[in-house]
Structure 1
Amino acid sequence: MAKRVNYIYNKKPKFEIPKNNKQRPAFILYAMKKSYEVDVARSELNYVTQPKNIKTGKPIIRMRRLNEHRAGAMRAMVPAMLYHFNIVSQIVQASVEQLSDECGLSTISSSGNKSISRASRLITEFMEPMGFVVSEKKWDKIIGNYMPKMISLTPLFFKLFDVSEEKINSAKKQQLAWINRNLIKKGIKPISLIEAKFKSQEVRLQSILNYRKSQHFFHIRKKKAQNIFSLDEKTARQKILKLIVEKYSLNELSEMGLDGLRKKVNIQYYYLKKIAKENYSDSNI
């Protein structure tokens, strides 16, 4: 068997702030700065904390430190998680795939398939057993499988770069005060920290549901488009023509005329051609 050479893509990953950079609370900027000042992958916590099986709660024997590839992934992922952290809900408002992309940990195979396993394994095989994060899976009725995990950061996560629980609680109170000021301006009754936490969690869950729903229907359209473009051009255009004719009434088709009908076939042909080739992440449809 041939020996694998340079099997790790991007040996020095780094979190890149998204292009649609949003203003972050002072606490988030402070925590991110602290995380860059230390080597979170070589924190003392990584050696003294006893990892546990997240299903059984039983200790996991871990004899050695993180290898350099996983350490590099952790150094990138920690500030990425902080950037997307919601102080009140304690949830990272980004999927593992988004975090992986922004940290340069995602890979694309020669066949065009994306892999986020490097980021995913860091979370499930290290950060979660160590108690730095907690993840929750919910069943998606639309797709028929589990939705992307909702990841919460624990107080132990912040201890990696010496941010105390008192500092976190203070930030929560400040964020809640900001939320309530805005609610009062709108004539809405102020809410408690618990209410704000549940509300933030609901918003995050709804955004995941909306994304999955749009993604699901995009892939249905893409599959239909690819089926049409598996035919030769003449047959594909005839199929599109048939679909258009079925869509309109006789009066509408009469008003459209042959030129109008040909134009609609051309528009639909190139529209479906675009969908057939497009990835969901690139789509504005």
Structure 2
Amino acid sequence: MTSRKSYIYNINPIFQTPKGNKRRPAFICYAMKKASEIDVARSALNYVIQPKNLKTGLFIKRYRRLNEHRARAMRAMVLAMLYHFNISSDLVQASVEQLSDECHLSTLSALGNKSITRASRLITHFLEPMGYVTCQKIWDKVLGNYMPKIITLTPLFFMLFGISKEQLKNAKKQQLGWINKNRISKGYKPLNIIEAKRKIKDNQIKNIFKYRISKHTFYKKRKNAQRLIALDEKEARQTILRALVSQYSIRELTNMGPQGLKKQVNISYFYLRKIANNPYPDN
């Protein structure tokens, strides 16, 4: 009989601070310390709160506690979400994929396909129905699919490790004061908490959109580069040469000369090889 452990790829997931560790606000550091000192997966709230079906609003009956594998994933994910938490907007400024990677919950198949199912199910099947987080999906009209979920942490999330609504509220006031101090020094008007929350959320959506467009463009370019590099080198260079000739005027080609044109072909060929054989830069 196959043991349960055989399909759990990382039995002991741990949140690992991403490279270029950014300095976090004092409240975030305090919250992460509190969350690491208690077992959030066995918090009394997990036994008191009844999860809700997000579509119907009806309560879901729970007959047992979190299994240990999901509990371990939760302990790591809570710290990751806190690290990326924006105090003013309540948003987690990281995608589910990024959180999964940083907690070592992501897996790769034999074909190299990444799966973030363990992290995604923890959010969809537990954290969200319990009311610890809310998630928003936004349709990307350009690419024709949904953007990564935008995750919001609720006051209940912080109660898991003993931080009250009042403490969270005070942290927001302090953060807003710091934001407005910087805005005033630059000649901008101060924001209230609602304006700050909306502005930060708008910026996050814009950044996600720009990232997705740039990534989509890169993979489209890489696919074309791979198709060209797969040709015989002489044929590939001839294709590049024809493309370059069509881009320049007769005067420009005359000024460039045969050697100049050959140099441009070499540059283009090696550039395409580099694109064809490399992953997206953020990997």
Query: Does TM-score exceed 0.5, indicating one fold?
Result: yes
Per-residue deviation, residues 114-152 of structure 1 (Å, max 9, x unmatched): 111111111111110111100001111221100001000
User: Mean Cα displacement is larger for which, 101-110 or 158-167?
Assistant: 101-110
1:207 is matched with 207
- CA distance in 1 between partners of 2:6 and 2:226 (Å): 35
User: Mean Cα displacement is larger for which, 131-140 or 251-260?
Assistant: 251-260
Counterparts of 1:1-285 in structure 2 under 5 Å?
6-282=6-282
Per-residue deviation, residues 45-96 of structure 1 (Å, max 9, x unmatched): 1122111111111111221211121111111100100010011100000111
Contact 2:225 2:276 in 1 (8 A): yes
- Structure 2 SS opposite 1:152: strand
- CA distance in 2 between partners of 1:224 and 1:82 (Å): 40
- CA distance in 2 between partners of 1:52 and 1:113 (Å): 32
Q: CA separation of 1:119/1:281 partners in 2, compared to 1, >3 Å: closer, same or farther?
A: farther
What letter matches 1:49 in structure 2?
I
- Structure 2 unmatched ranges of 5 or more: none
User: Mean Cα displacement is larger for which, 46-55 or 227-236?
Assistant: 227-236
Per-residue deviation, residues 233-255 of structure 1 (Å, max 9, x unmatched): 22222211111111111221222
What letter matches 2:202 in structure 1?
E
- CA distance in 1 between partners of 2:124 and 2:9 (Å): 20
- Structure 2 SS opposite 1:6: helix
TM-score w.r.t. the length of structure 1 is 0.95
- Structure 2 SS opposite 1:208: helix
- CA distance in 2 between partners of 1:68 and 1:190 (Å): 47
Q: CA separation of 1:217/1:36 partners in 2, compared to 1, >3 Å: closer, same or farther?
A: same
Contact 2:43 2:160 in 1 (8 A): yes
RMSD: 1.6
Per-residue deviation, residues 192-251 of structure 1 (Å, max 9, x unmatched): 111111111111111111111111111111111122123222222221111111111122
Deviation (angstroms), 1:3:
7.5
- Structure 1 unmatched ranges of 5 or more: none
- Structure 1 SS opposite 2:129: coil
- CA distance in 2 between partners of 1:13 and 1:216 (Å): 30
User: Mean Cα displacement is larger for which, 250-259 or 69-78?
Assistant: 250-259
- Structure 2 SS opposite 1:61: coil
Deviation (angstroms), 1:110:
2.0
Deviation (angstroms), 1:190:
1.3
Deviation (angstroms), 1:6:
2.3
- CA distance in 2 between partners of 1:242 and 1:255 (Å): 17
Contact 2:5 2:11 in 1 (8 A): no
- CA distance in 2 between partners of 1:110 and 1:17 (Å): 27
Deviation (angstroms), 1:4:
7.9
What letter matches 2:90 in structure 1?
Q
